[in-house]
């Protein structure tokens, strides 16, 4: 039965006489109690008449309609005119229902014979006790305060957390051990609720626990209004968010809406052993969890005809399947009780089934629960509306052949309407696939249909794309009902965003590892020239050990090698400790001369080198990259000197608006650009196989100069020479 049907039945079965009229007083509905009090045989004799025909106020007003048009509500004595025209003294309460535009849509009248006041009080107390039991069964904290911040109600979870009895808390003001600044903040927010009359959500509320540690709660505080619209109390629903791995948190909504008690069990070698349940278990079956264990376990109280159902469900649990089952048990009193059981197996850190969590409901008394729901309790309703997830009640829509073609909204909480971006009254009765085609496009409709047909719950995560009111990532649980489904929806966008951040960090780490491999290439490639130079000079020194010029040249090459090693070590240290490499100012002419000292060989002795660089020209760059770039280009210039001609290398520096352009020109054997231009700067590309080389130099050169924000250009002709133009940015600072 859907929510609307439940409300209609509750009103019709109420012991209070109820009537509803239009703004002019024309009656459109009466319940059975109304007919009984006024001695009318059927509703047809009343519906369509005007309310003034049936009762008049005793306080001198002309009519009830006059009173309501001025005050919006009425509470007091009335004389009711029965069918035989006799009168009966009653206590009445009347109020108006208004639209969003503040226009009266309906007038609601309820009255009871004065002699029935005692039974009404008893009924109210029974209802209060029933809803108090429901609130005691949930794990979230629920409490109420008056305008003086005095506790008027707490549920069992709240009292258990504080380590005191519920009766000790009701009537108290503040928790003595709590921090003063926390209490002052509570009072500030509470005052705002009473003054503004609006619901307030506190994402992270601090509280000093009895163990001396501060815990954090997600709390929703909602005003409670009496029949005159006055705010006398507020209700608060708080969830402990200190431990994000709270096992029972995922079943909160199931516990609130569909369950009488929750429980956990251990799974040991294929056997399920219950180890904890909320207190309502003993109220339903008469046993505590310890007593059930002493008599041989839960299997001992299951009805024999339902052992097969329970056995099948146990097999599903041991396969890791979430599911629902219905079966009968024998209570301690001997009464047969029907149980609907939702359960979910959990895995430990080693991937082994180790735990079971569940939420169960006594469905034997559903009809009784439906009857009691007619006396709607504002405190319970406020707790539901303060739920931290979106809740939707949907009924199936079938065509003439009985095929399910859609689901329609029956009821939802305010958070659910806000999540869809449409007022609640505009959604009730509407079809989900017509309003939101994404339910068809993404296959949600088929999944919801299977939940209803198979009676198997659905739990999954999904994405709402841009273009909808609330795009992002969501998690929902879909449960079957007798005429449709219930959806519990939670926004998990923050969790998904953190996972993406982690993926980004992994990518950054991979890039850093790639750069470290590049440093290895730099080291192995660029150090070969100075080492070869030193070895060559040492061979010359063997012929003339007293040649001081050679000794000085060896010393210079060693110093240059030491300088290069320091730069490389610094580069690696910086890469480890920072995201950016540090640039320094270098003297361009001096740095080029230092690089030329590395080339001492037969070819270099026979090669004329001319340097045309102004003495006052400086470059702001990363030294180790600059050295590697110049080393690679000069190495090629000396290596590919023509055997037919006297070698010539010219090094020249010019300035443009953005760059310092360093040109290195040789008259060597050249490169066939028509053939090799596309491979010029690729890894392992070589253009003269008869000359020793690894094919890494130009690849590294291009990568490094582009990392600095510059570029490299080449001009070359076979047997005429090659000209490299190196563009170094003047002031641009690039993170490498």
Q: Quick one: 259-368 is in which CATH superfamily?
A: PAS domain (3.30.450.20)
Residue 473: what pLDDT?
83
Strands of the sheet containing 458-464, edge to edge, are 404-412, 390-398, 484-491, 472-480, 458-464
User: Domain spanning 3-117 has what CATH number?
Assistant: 3.30.450.20
Q: What is the DSSP letter of 581?
A: P
Contact assessment for residue 649 and residue 630, using Cβ atoms and an 8 Å cutoff: no
> Is the CB of residue 572 less than 8 Å from the CB of residue 518?
no
640 and 669 Cβ atoms separated by less than 8 Å: yes
Same fold flag, 3-117 and 125-245 = yes
What 3-state class would DSSP assign to 446?
A: helix
Cα 566 from chain centroid?
Answer: 48
Best CA proximity match to 246, nearest among 395, 168, 163, 139:
139
Whole-angstrom distance, CA of residue 687 vs CA of residue 46: 105
Residue 522 tokens, joined: 């730099």
Query: Tens of pLDDT along 46-91?
Result: 999 988 888 776 555 556 677 777 777 777 777 888 888 888 888 8
What does pLDDT average to over the chain? 79
In angstroms, how far is CA 155 from the centroid of its own chain? 28
Residues 60 and 570: their CA atoms lie apart, in Å, by 98
User: In this structure, which CATH number among 3.40.50.300, 3.30.450.20, 1.10.10.350, 1.10.20.10 belongs to the domain 125-245?
Assistant: 3.30.450.20
Q: Report the pLDDT value the prediction gives residue 126, as an integer from 0 to 100.
A: 55
pLDDT at 55: 77
3-state secondary structure 406-439: EEEEEEECHHHHHHHCCCHHHHCCCEHHHHCCHH
DSSP, res 26: B
Rounded CA-CA distance 727/584 in Å is 17
Contact criterion met (CB below 8 Å) for 15 and 123:
yes
- The class of domain 581-729 in CATH terms is alpha beta
Confidence at residue 491, expressed as pLDDT on a 0 to 100 scale? 83
Residue 481 vs residues 48, 316, 393, 419: alpha-carbon distances, Å: 37, 21, 9, 23
Contact 559, 565 (CB under 8 A): no
- Please tell me the predicted confidence (pLDDT) of residue 601: 52
**What residues pair up with 110 in beta bridges, in sequence order?**
18, 93
Separation CA 537–CA 557 (nearest Å): 9
Task: Kindly give the parts of the chain with pLDDT less than 50.
Answer: 1, 3, 120, 124, 127, 244-254, 256-258, 367, 570-571, 573-579, 602, 693-694, 732-736
Task: Give the pLDDT score at 259.
Answer: 67
Residue 311 pLDDT = 92
* Contact between 138 and 231 (Cβ < 8 Å): no
- Label the pairing between strands 484-491 and 607-612: unpaired
Q: Is-contact 496 473, C-beta < 8 A?
A: yes
725: Cβ contacts below 8 Å, ≥ 6 apart:
661, 662, 663, 712, 713, 714, 715
pLDDT per position as a tens digit, 235-287: 899 888 776 434 444 444 445 444 678 888 888 888 888 888 876 788 889 99
- What's the pTM value of the predicted model, to 2 decimals? 0.30
Q: What is the pLDDT of residue 723?
A: 93
Where in the chain are the domains? 3-117, 125-245, 259-368, 581-729
Can you give the pLDDT at residue 105? 79
Residue carrying the six token digits 């020209």 = 617
Helix, strand and coil percent figures for the chain, each rounded to 5 = 40, 30, 30
DSSP classification of residue 227: T
Cα angle: 496, vertex 513, 578; to 5 degrees: 80
């Amino acid at each position: 039965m859907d929510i609307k049907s439940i409300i209609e039945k509750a009103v019709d079965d109420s012991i209070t006489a109820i009537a509803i009229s239009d703004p002019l007083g024309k009656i459109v509905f009466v319940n059975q109690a109304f007919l009984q009090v006024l001695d009318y045989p059927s509703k047809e004799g009343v519906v369509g008449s005007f309310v003034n025909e049936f009762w008049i106020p005793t306080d001198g007003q002309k009519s009830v309609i006059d009173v309501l048009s001025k005050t919006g509500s009425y509470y007091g004595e009335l004389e009711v005119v029965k069918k035989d025209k006799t009168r009966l003294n009653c206590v009445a309460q009347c109020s108006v229902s208004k639209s969003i535009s503040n226009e009266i849509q309906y007038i609601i009248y309820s009255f009871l014979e004065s002699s029935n006041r005692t039974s009404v009080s008893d009924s109210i107390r029974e209802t209060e006790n029933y809803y108090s039991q429901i609130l005691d069964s949930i794990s979230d904290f629920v409490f109420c305060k008056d305008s003086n911040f005095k506790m008027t109600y707490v549920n069992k979870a709240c009292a258990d957390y504080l380590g005191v009895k519920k009766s000790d808390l009701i009537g108290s003001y503040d928790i003595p051990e709590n921090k003063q600044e926390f209490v002052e903040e509570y009072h500030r927010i509470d005052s705002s609720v009473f003054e503004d009359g609006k619901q307030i959500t506190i994402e992270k509320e601090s509280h000093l626990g009895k163990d001396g540690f501060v815990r954090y709660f997600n709390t929703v505080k909602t005003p409670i209004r009496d029949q005159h619209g006055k705010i006398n109390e507020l209700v608060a629903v708080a969830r402990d968010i200190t431990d994000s791995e709270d096992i029972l948190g995922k079943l909160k909504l199931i516990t609130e809406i569909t369950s009488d008690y929750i429980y956990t069990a251990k799974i040991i070698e294929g056997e399920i052993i219950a180890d904890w349940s909320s207190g309502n278990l003993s109220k339903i079956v008469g046993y505590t969890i310890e007593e059930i264990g002493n008599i041989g376990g839960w299997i001992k109280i299951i009805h024999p005809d339902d052992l097969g159902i329970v056995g099948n469900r146990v097999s599903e649990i041991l396969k890791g399947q979430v599911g629902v089952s219905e079966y009968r048990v024998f209570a301690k009193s001997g009464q047969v009780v029907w149980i609907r059981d939702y359960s979910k197996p959990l895995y430990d850190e080693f991937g082994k089934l180790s735990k079971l969590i569940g939420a169960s409901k006594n469905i034997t008394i559903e009809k009784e629960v439906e009857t009691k729901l007619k006396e709607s309790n504002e405190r319970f309703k406020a707790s539901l509306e303060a739920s931290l997830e979106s809740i939707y009640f949907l009924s199936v829509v079938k065509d003439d052949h009985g095929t399910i073609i859609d689901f329609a909204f029956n009821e939802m909480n305010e958070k659910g309407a806000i999540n869809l971006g449409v007022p609640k009254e505009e959604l009730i009765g509407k079809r989900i696939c017509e309003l939101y085609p994404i339910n068809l496009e993404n296959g949600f409709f088929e999944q919801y249909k299977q939940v209803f047909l198979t009676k198997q719950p659905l739990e999954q995560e999904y994405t709402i794309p841009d273009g909808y009111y609330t795009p992002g990532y969501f998690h929902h649980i879909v449960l079957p009902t007798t005429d449709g489904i219930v959806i519990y929806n939670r926004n998990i966008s923050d969790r998904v965003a953190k996972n993406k951040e982690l993926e980004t960090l992994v990518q950054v780490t991979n890039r850093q590892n790639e750069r470290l491999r590049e440093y290895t290439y730099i080291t192995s490639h660029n150090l070969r020239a100075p080492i070869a130079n030193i070895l060559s000079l040492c061979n010359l020194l063997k012929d003339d050990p007293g040649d001081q010029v050679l000794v000085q040249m060896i010393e210079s090459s060693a110093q240059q090698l030491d300088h290069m090693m320091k730069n490389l070590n610094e580069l690696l240290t910086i890469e480890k400790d920072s995201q950016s490499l540090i640039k320094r100012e270098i003297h361009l002419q001096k740095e080029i001369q230092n690089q030329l000292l590395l080339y001492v060989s037969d070819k270099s002795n026979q090669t004329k080198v001319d340097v045309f660089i102004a003495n006052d020209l400086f470059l702001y760059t990363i030294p180790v990259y600059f050295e590697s770039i110049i080393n690679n280009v000069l190495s090629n210039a000396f290596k590919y000197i023509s055997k037919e001609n006297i070698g010539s290398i010219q090094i020249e520096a010019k300035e443009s608006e953005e760059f310092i352009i360093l040109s290195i020109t040789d008259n060597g054997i050249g490169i066939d650009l028509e053939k090799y231009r596309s491979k010029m700067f690729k890894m392992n590309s070589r253009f003269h196989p008869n000359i020793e080389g690894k094919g890494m130099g130009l690849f590294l050169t291009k990568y490094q100069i582009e990392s600095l924000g510059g570029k490299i250009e080449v001009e070359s002709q076979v047997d005429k020479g090659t000209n490299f133009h190196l563009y170094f940015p003047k002031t641009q600072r690039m993170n490498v």
